[in-house]
Structure 1
Amino acid sequence: MVRHDSERPETAHLITDAPVPGHWIQVLSTMQANPFTHLDWDDVRNEAAHILIVSPTAEVARTCFGQLLTSNADSGSGNPDGFIEIVTAEELAPEDVPAGTWIFLPHRQDGWTELEATSARVRSALVKENTARDREGKFTLIEYGINLWLWAEPPYGGGDPVCHAGELISWESAWALGRASATGSDGAGPGGRGSSAHAPEASARPPIYFGLPNVLRERRRNG
């Protein structure tokens, strides 16, 4: 599916007055039910040395990472070791990112125009830094949607990639946090959409990410 620039919604803020389209509940459930497209909290804790969430505001972080932040708080340890850190793009210094960190960066074609430009710039700097590092020093770069879910097309037709404004959003690199049971609060399990058009209560945006951690690469390679 191709959406030209003139058709792509543009905004300058986090959209909170429109519900996430109901079909994303089914997309999320499907991904969470597949071992090649989901990780649970223990996977994240075991595989990531540190998590950096790059977010323009605390509200955006809460909206997009409710499930991740709740899982960390419910793990019994809270966040005393600073495992999850929320920073702005201006605060992020690529050369200071510790090895093994997972960096969550807003998607470059999210629809938030100013944020898109910032994300593209930061991503370029991060890729440059990561490329220069040896294997033991590398980090993992993952993109997430803020307003993306309000206009992006779901992966119908066997998970075909989606192309918006010349930017390839490949479902081959997508994964979700948690298992299918996490969506039960909406009455939309793996087999149905339910009546609600809202994302799971733990997050106001579907926790779907683009960019594979090594653990998922290995699963797919060995699966």
Structure 2
Amino acid sequence: MKYQIIPVTPFQQNCSLIWCDETKKAAVIDPGGDFDRILVEVDKLGLKLEKILLTHGHIDHVGAAKALAEQAGIPIIGPHEADSFWLESLPEQSKHFGFKPCEPFTPTQYLNAGDTVRLGSKTLEVLHCPGHTPGHLVFFSPSSKLAWVGDVLFHGSIGRTDFPQSNHSDLIDSITQTLWPLGRDVEFIPGHGPVSTFGHERDQNPFVADQLFY
């Protein structure tokens, strides 16, 4: 699985353009804004955009999803249905965070833990990782040892849990019980900031390092 990070919105959210290098079939993970820039990269790389994947319902991750889906004629897949209230509150989110007005929408398909998403010859596993939001998902490529973790985990930090229906204990469990078993060598692309590996975070992250729990 190949990927390119496209920072979008004033929050510099890591929107990811991902694709199967054999078939050139592509998806966009978390198009929070600037969908025109995303389409420029799709054309530049000669890709066929097939779907939008969402990790969770916060506006900096989903703000351009509806417009991009309509422009490209593609489905929106994810997040988990527990985040539907976030998608319904997009007009309020846009006002609160100073974003352009954003209409609520319903994804073409919600996802659950254990689901898979096909992209050309590649398969992404779907993991439910609540805490930052109740319906937060992680997309994992076993063949490439890559994970797109949204706002669950960051280089040196973890997701906020001061939002409605956030839960700090759930977040810690999602990281230590769902992500860590995938392997120390897994590289992850967070929703913000630099790429890292689970091994590095297990050694160095002051919030979830192994020494805090074992």
Indicate the structure (1 or 2) with the bigger Cα radius of gyration.
Answer: 1
- TM-score normalised to the size of structure 1? 0.28
Q: Where is the strand percentage greater, Structure 1 or Structure 2?
A: 2
- TM-score normalised to the size of structure 2? 0.29
Larger relative contact order (CA 8 Å, sep ≥ 6)? 1
